[in-house]
Structure 1
C-alpha cells in the first residue's frame, strides 16, 4: 500500500506539462506493489479543482486510488509534529494538512509518493519517501 500526496494527483488532473509523466510512472510502479490510497485531507485538497464530486471520484477510480481513513494515532502524531514545527519558527498557515498526510504514512508504515517531502523528512523520518530526483523533473 502506498499513500499518495495531493500534488501527484493534481499532476494527473491538470495534465501538468512538467510532472504528469513522472507522476503517472510512479503511480504505475506503486500500484504493482499494492493498493494506492489517499486520506480525507488529500481528498479535500483535490476537491478544490473539481466542480462535481463525480468528477473527482472518476479521477480516483481511473487512477486506482481508494480513500483510507486517518487513524486516530496519526491525528495525534500530526498535532505533536506540528507543535514542534511551530516551536521551531515554522509558518502558521497552509501547512497543517501536510502533517496529517505525513503522520498517516508514519503510523501505518506506508511509503509516501510526493513531490514535496521537505517537512515530511524532517518530522517523519521513518517514512519512505518516493520523490523525483532533484534535478530531473521528467
Structure 2
C-alpha cells in the first residue's frame, strides 16, 4: 500500500482537468464534416487523462440546439463535470476583453470566450478549443489544446 506522500505525489502529477470549449463539443454533436473526427479524438484523449469540465457559459452555448434541459443533460451524460465560474474569472475576463478592445478588437460580444479562457486560467485547467489564437494572446500561460 502506498504511503500518503506517495499517493499525494501520484494525484498531484496527474494532468489538470480539461475545460472543453462549446465549439469542440458541437463539432461532435453535429457531426461537423471537417472537425468531428479531430474533436472526438481530442475529447477522448482528454477523458483518458482526467476530468472533462464545462461551465455555465459553455452549457448555454451548447443549449441553443436543444429543446429542453433534459435533452441537453442526456447528451452530455456524466462525461462532463459542471463547474461554476469563479468570481476571479469574471474579473480576468473583463480585463482580457478591455485589452482586446484596446488592441482594436471589433467583435462586440466575445466576452463569453474571455470567460472561458479566464475560467481555465484561474482554475488551472487545460483548454480544448479550435480558437487557439485569442486564448494564447490574452491568456499566454494557459495550456491550450488546439489544431496545429
TM-score normalised to the size of structure 1?
Answer: 0.91
Runs of 5+ in structure 1 lacking a partner? 134-138
Give deviations 1:42-94, integer Å, cap 9, x for gaps: 001111111121111111116x1121111111111000111111111112423
* Contact 1:111 1:127 (8 Å CA) reproduced: yes
Are residue 97 (structure 1) and residue 117 (structure 2) matched?
Answer: no
Q: Classify the secondary structure of the residue corresponding to 2:53.
A: strand
Q: Distance in 1 between matches of 2:58 and 2:137?
A: 20
| Alignment match, 2:9 | none
Mean Cα deviation higher: 32-41 or 84-93:
84-93
Choose 1 or 2 for highest CA Rg: 2
Q: Classify the secondary structure of the residue corresponding to 1:21.
A: helix
Decide which of 19, 22, 38 is 1:6's aligned counterpart: 22
Are residue 26 (structure 1) and residue 27 (structure 2) matched?
Answer: no
Q: Distance in 2 between matches of 1:94 and 1:128?
A: 24
Q: Describe how 1:49-60 pairs up with structure 2 within 5 A.
A: 49-60=65-76
Q: Distance in 1 between matches of 2:35 and 2:107?
A: 28
Q: Classify the secondary structure of the residue corresponding to 1:125.
A: coil
Q: Distance in 1 between matches of 2:91 and 2:29?
A: 31
Please report the RMSD computed on the Cα atoms of aligned residues, expressed in angstroms. 1.1
Q: Distance in 1 between matches of 2:106 and 2:81?
A: 31
Structure 1 ranges of 4+ moved more than 3 A = none
Are residue 110 (structure 1) and residue 119 (structure 2) matched?
Answer: no
Are residue 66 (structure 1) and residue 84 (structure 2) matched?
Answer: no
